A and B are shown apart, each in its own frame.
Chain A
Amino acid sequence: MLASELRLLFRRRRTWALFAALAAVPVLIGVAVRVSTGPPRGRGPAFLDQVAGNGLFLAVVGLLVSVPLFLPLTVAVVAGDSIAGEASQGTLRYLLTAPVPRAGLLLVKYAVIVVFCAAAVLVLAAAGVLVGLVLFGVQPAVLLSGDTVGLGESYARIALITAYVGVSLLGLGAIGLFLSTLSDVPVGVMAAIAVLAVAAQIAGSLPQLEWLHPWLFTEHWTGFVDLLRQPVLWDSFVDNALLQAGYVAVSGALAYGRFATKDVLS
């Protein structure tokens, strides 16, 4: 069942359109930096400046730019569609006639979302690495601590950052799955998920809501810069993973509560 759901996901033209949009992010940044004389100094983290000198950083910058909006949007589309899409097309009851418990169906649907999250960040990172290689070439990378590391470790760090961003999206995916069980209108669910992601980030930037910050699923989304330090600061990776696991557990359980008690009429 998982295999057929995955085939369905990757056969959809929409999925590939999302991947193409994500891959376009590093391409656009790379071309923009290439044709201009260089990014203005002093804006944002210093490693933005390094793109012009080192293609390796394009993947990191591409991920950094996509984390607040583009990646959540793509997750919102896939997660929002997972249950509500079937319901709106009237295919949900056929799925439920298969000898699979409802919890099993939810698990399969969530597994599809997880696979999509992984594929999305991989596409983004791979596009960044390739475009950076073509446009700028690669040199040994300079970390935030001023240490220079070789190519092998640079790629390892990019892989770690990619994994970090992928893990960051799991909580949102689970929330999306729950919201998707609430409604039969997939577009509404997609919008709700995207709005939630943005709202959480806005709340995270308000100092008045500081007590709430540790509980926001977006809290550690940009924390992957800690992986660019020497030695690696693992705290944010661990904190992020725990936070996302918490959201997966609660949202998943809520989704089960809702889905298992739902009257499927269509």
Chain B
Amino acid sequence: MDRGPWKKWTPAVAAAATIAALAAGGSITASARTDLPDRTPQDVLEMVAAHELEGFSGRLESSVELGLPQLPGADVRDGEDEDDGSVDGRIAGLLSELTGTHEARLFADGHDRFRLQLLEGADQKDLVLNEGELWSYDSAENEAVHLTLPRHGAGEESPLARQHPGVAMPTPEQIAERLLEKAEAHSVVSVEEGTSDSGRDVYTLRLEPRTDQTLVDTVAVDVDAATGMPLGVEVRAVGQDEPAVSVAFTEFTPEVPDAGLFDFSPPAGATVEDVSLPDGMMRHGGPGHCGSGAHHHRGEVVGDGWDAVVVMPADAVPQDVADSAVLDELAVDVEDGRLLSTPLLNVLLTDDGRVLAGAVPQQRLLDVAASGTGEE
């Protein structure tokens, strides 16, 4: 009779043990190696260039760890803060939008319709493109923005269309060859087989910079073995355990989603804004990205590999950016200027007003600055 009472506890132990085993087992199977035919980097790049999907739906997770200190204004960022138009507000808004972990769902029909849904807690932002009609909807503000895109030649209509080279484009083999040639000049390129976060078999294309004059440790691109679709990108910085930037599908279904998803009409009661877009603005992302890319063409690039440094002369840098309080808070003083340092990117604001940026160690920025590039 001694063992009697203990037997009654067996189910409790068994239940706990089963759950523990399931929890542990889940993480083991996730990293199990798969059995795919061997491919060279050339083959994988060809797969990417040739891939043509009749639509898909998926779930994306992006995480950006810039290692910046928490900004005081970033938490209370709300509609009002963004609209004040100040550089500080814009920088803080942009940083909080870019950094951290974000989740999104993406649906595409393989042609000119797609829908992106940013999941933000109990709110959601939608971006719907349906044959030249672009809608964005923000559930938190109950605001919709409507935009009719000007008709362009193929290749500019949607991000998806951009991935599909038109008829006049070179063949996938040629694209792969050229890309590989460029990549191998500066990096060691290798291919591994594995399983992505979405549970699909992938080839992981890994680039390791040949130079040590860069903060980039590796860049890895997951390419779906079945469809050739890139499923994830991961950038690791030197000396960091966690990836600095990672964007990947956590779910991916290569099937055309329900066509009704792309029919969007704003709900009754929502504020609707009609925006018309001047030609030529298409090249820069959506609204909110203006300003970040606009000045690049006035800058100068030193170096052509991983150690490239972008130098902007003093007159290309808006004064309010240089004087921004947010930048002041993030930057540290170095000789001849201020340095904004993150694991993956260093930005140097020199005392004479130039801005130098690159995925390079700070010493290289200082060297380039001292060489006088970008001075009048």
Contact of B139 among A53, A145, A246, A253 (CB under 8 A): A145
Interface residue A182 (Cβ < 8 Å from any Cβ of B): no
Most chain B CB within a 10 A radius of its CB, from A142, A146, A147: A146
Contact A146:B144 (CB < 8 A) given known A45-B123, A233-B105: yes
A88→B142 CA distance, assembly (Å): 55
- Within B1-54, the residues touching A (CB, 8 Å) are 5, 8-16, 18-19
B15-A148 in contact (CB<8A): no
Interface residue A249 (Cβ < 8 Å from any Cβ of B): yes
- The number of chain B residues touching the other chain, given as a range, is 35 or more
User: Which residues of A sit under 8 angstroms from B285, Cβ to Cβ?
Assistant: none
The 0/1 profile, CB within 8 Å of A marked 1, for residues 144-176 of chain B is 100000000000000000000000000000000
A49→B8 CA distance, assembly (Å): 53
Contact segment of A9-17, A156-164, A190-198, A254-262 = A254-262
Nearest CB on A from B282, distance (A): 24
A150→B144 CA distance, assembly (Å): 20
A229→B59 CA distance, assembly (Å): 14
- Within B237-256, the residues touching A (CB, 8 Å) are none
Nearest CB on A from B128, distance (A): 8
Nearest CB on A from B258, distance (A): 7
Nearest CB on A from B314, distance (A): 41
Residues on A lying within 8 angstroms of B by beta carbon are 42, 44-47, 49, 53, 139, 142, 144-148, 222, 225, 229-231, 233, 246, 249-250, 252-254, 256-257, 260-261
A253-B123 in contact (CB<8A): no
A246→B258 CA distance, assembly (Å): 34
Nearest CB on B from A41, distance (A): 9
Contact A253:B15 (CB < 8 A) given known A42-B78, A46-B142: yes
B139-A260 in contact (CB<8A): no
A148-B265 in contact (CB<8A): yes
A257-B267 in contact (CB<8A): no
B8-A260 in contact (CB<8A): yes
- Within B104-147, the residues touching A (CB, 8 Å) are 105, 117, 119, 121-124, 126, 135, 137, 139-142, 144
A250-B15 in contact (CB<8A): yes
B9-A46 in contact (CB<8A): no
